[in-house]
């Protein structure tokens, strides 16, 4: 079973607890699941309630925890879905990257969405409290995604992120935020902040 999160208007929370989430009523969209030719209704849920911090803080909504069999769960990249509304090529990539939840590696997508293919019965729904009832292993999906990218870059370059910082401060230089002084003999560069006396020393990448 997968633990997923879903936000419900507090006006409807009693009905959801009593009757469950009927797919025909609560579905987010209709899509063709990869590997099939069948168009299916899907309910959109989250792996982490903090993936939608705006809803989490909205006092008009209540976060609920769902327990769903893995066979009814697919994970997709919500960023690609939203961008795909304006670009068919990106939408094609969205569909190509939909995978079963049991195969998903946390941190793969910056904005993962879980597509639930079945109704959720009331006995598998729990209203969460302030502590969200069960511990969460990571802050949110975006932070985990970025941390994974940083780790991959470090494995590739093995320079403690120097190349990323160099690229970032070079960008700041184009905006007039820093000035650079280079020592090409020793392959060093110093970026001085134009608004303060702070500086950073890096290797030239």
pLDDT of residue 34: 83
pLDDT of residue 205: 81
Mean pLDDT taken over the chain? 91
The side-by-side arrangement of strands in the sheet containing 199-203 is: 178-183, 188-193, 199-203
pLDDT of residue 135: 64
Q: How far apart are CA 113 and CA 94, in angstroms?
A: 11
Q: How confident is the model at residue 76 (pLDDT cuts 50, 70, 90)?
A: very high
Residue pLDDT, tens place only, 144-189: 999 898 888 888 888 888 988 999 999 999 999 999 999 888 899 9
Predicted structure pTM score: 0.81
Structure tokens of 168? 């970032």
pLDDT of residue 41: 95
pLDDT mean over 18-42 = 91
Residue pLDDT, tens place only, 86-139: 999 999 999 999 999 999 999 999 999 999 999 999 999 999 865 555 666 678
pLDDT of residue 128: 81
């Amino acid at each position: 079973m997968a633990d997923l999160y879903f936000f419900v208007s507090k006006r409807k929370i009693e009905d959801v607890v009593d009757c469950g989430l009927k797919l025909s009523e609560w579905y987010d969209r209709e899509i063709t699941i990869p590997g099939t030719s069948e168009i299916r209704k899907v309910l959109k849920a989250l792996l982490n309630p903090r993936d939608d911090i705006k809803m989490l803080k909205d006092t008009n909504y209540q976060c609920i925890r769902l327990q769903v069999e893995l066979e009814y769960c697919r994970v997709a990249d919500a960023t690609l879905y939203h961008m795909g509304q304006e670009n068919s090529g990106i939408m094609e990539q969205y569909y190509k990257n939909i995978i079963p939840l049991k195969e998903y590696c946390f941190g793969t997508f910056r904005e993962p969405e879980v597509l639930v293919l079945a109704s959720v019965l009331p006995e598998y729904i729990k209203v969460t409290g302030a502590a969200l009832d069960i511990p969460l292993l990571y802050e949110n999906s975006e932070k985990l995604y970025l941390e994974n990218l940083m780790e991959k870059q470090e494995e590739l370059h093995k320079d403690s992120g120097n190349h990323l910082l160099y690229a970032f401060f070079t960008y700041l230089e184009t905006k007039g935020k820093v000035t650079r002084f280079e020592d090409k003999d020793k392959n060093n560069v110093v970026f001085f902040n134009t608004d303060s006396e702070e500086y950073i020393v890096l290797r030239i990448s």
